[in-house]
Amino acid sequence: MTWPAALQQFHNYLMLERSLSANTREAYLGDLQKFRRYLEIEALDLQPLQVQRADLERFIHWVNQLGLEASSQARLISGLRAFFKFLLVEDLLEDDPTELLESPRLRRKIPEVLTVHEIEQMLEAIDLSQPQGHRNRAMLETLYACGLRVSELVDLRRTNLFLAAGFVKVLGKNNKERLVPIGAAAVKYLEYYLDHVRADNIRPGHENYVFLNRRGARMTRVMGVLHHQGTRTKSRYSQKYQPAHLPAFVRHPPGGGWRRPQGGTGYAGARKHYHHRNLHPPGYRIPQRNHLPLSPQNEILNTRWTIGW
């Protein structure tokens, strides 16, 4: 079996049998593309059914030497395990080469947060003289008020907005639906965007999405992240903090104002919620890893999966 055929079948397996989201499928297939790129760089002519545990161990050691963080290495191993487990399920392999593959020990880190004043400063940095500014303000207000993931924000539908009742219905990971309260400040900006700013020339099939780009199409997850990063860059606090999951633990209550989450956080279990509640003391700074230069060896870390193979 060749790599293109194996990746196509694996993609179908993830989509049809495991019902994983598009982002998760892309992540798994991207991990396999990194492994393929490694084989090309090392001039190893190995097809999927020829891979042995020693080959995978050398690959993990190789990316570790490049400086890939332990969490990224663990995610990489998870993608490889899912792929070879699929080959076992399809009776294409007799032994799983990832069975004895060890994952790196992960250290649980508590993310940093912005204060209420700092978040307000960031929101006020948005230019409301432009139509896109009102959209971006509505996006950020909704993001923080409801504690949404960016993918959940851009996938928000108009039919799932119950603003008069003070909540929205969100479709999260594994197609789980949840009702999330939304504060009065977010409702104000969201209603203004929907009534006065939202594009009229909407692309067919995108009418129900709340947030649209200039061409009347649904916002992508990448564009949502870029708009968020751009707003932080304009803020005076953009260099002081680099919060990874900020919307998850600072949000509006239904009556307005900011608070830490108590219920309806969207976490699958209480353990992770408790972990995010115990924040670092003031002045603590999580070290940031320097970006790797894009050399032929480091190119593998930037490899992504695409439909074209």
- Whichever domain contains 139, its CATH number is 1.10.443.10
Residue at 173 is within a domain:
yes
The Cα–Cα gap between 39 and 46 comes to 7
The Cα–Cα gap between 279 and 264 comes to 19
CB atoms within 10 A of CB 179: 12
Same domain, 123 and 224: yes
Residue 264 has pLDDT above 50, yes or no: no
Same domain, 130 and 60: no
Sheet containing 167-171: which strands, arranged edge to edge?
A: 161-162, 167-171, 177-181
Say which range, 85-89, 120-124, 182-186, 208-212, has the weakest mean pLDDT: 120-124
The residue among 108, 127, 142 that closes a domain is 108
Confidence label for 272 from pLDDT (cuts 50, 70 and 90): very low
Same domain, 120 and 244: yes
Mean pLDDT on 3-23: 91
The residue among 91, 108, 125 that closes a domain is 108
The Cα–Cα gap between 46 and 55 comes to 9
Whether the predicted model's global pTM rises above the 0.85 cut: no
Same domain, 140 and 246: yes
Residue at 309 is within a domain:
no
pLDDT of residue 67: 87
Same domain, 131 and 201: yes
Number of domains observed in the structure of the chain: 2
Same domain, 140 and 243: yes
pLDDT of residue 288: 40
Same domain, 146 and 235: yes
Largest separation between any pair of C-alpha atoms in the chain: 63
pLDDT of residue 21: 83
* Most confident of the following: 88-97, 258-267, 285-294: 88-97
Same domain, 39 and 128: no
Residue at 266 is within a domain:
no
The Cα–Cα gap between 188 and 200 comes to 20
Question: What percent of the chain shows pLDDT beyond 90?
Answer: 42
pLDDT of residue 205: 92
Give the residue numbers spanning the domain of 32: 3-108
Same domain, 155 and 237: yes
Same domain, 38 and 126: no
The Cα–Cα gap between 29 and 224 comes to 23
pLDDT of residue 231: 58
Say which range, 59-68, 85-94, 134-143, 289-298, has the weakest mean pLDDT: 289-298
Same domain, 76 and 142: no
pLDDT of residue 109: 73
CATH code of the domain in which 15 resides: 1.10.150.130
Residue at 205 is within a domain:
yes
Residue 267 has pLDDT above 90, yes or no: no
Residue 298 has pLDDT above 90, yes or no: no
Residue 184 has pLDDT above 70, yes or no: yes
The radius of gyration computed from the CA coordinates of the chain, to the nearest angstrom, equals 22
The Cα–Cα gap between 283 and 281 comes to 6
- Those residues with Cβ within 8 angstroms of residue 10's Cβ, 6 or more apart along the chain or in another chain: 28, 29, 32, 83, 86
Same domain, 137 and 219: yes
Question: What percent of the chain shows pLDDT beyond 70?
Answer: 72
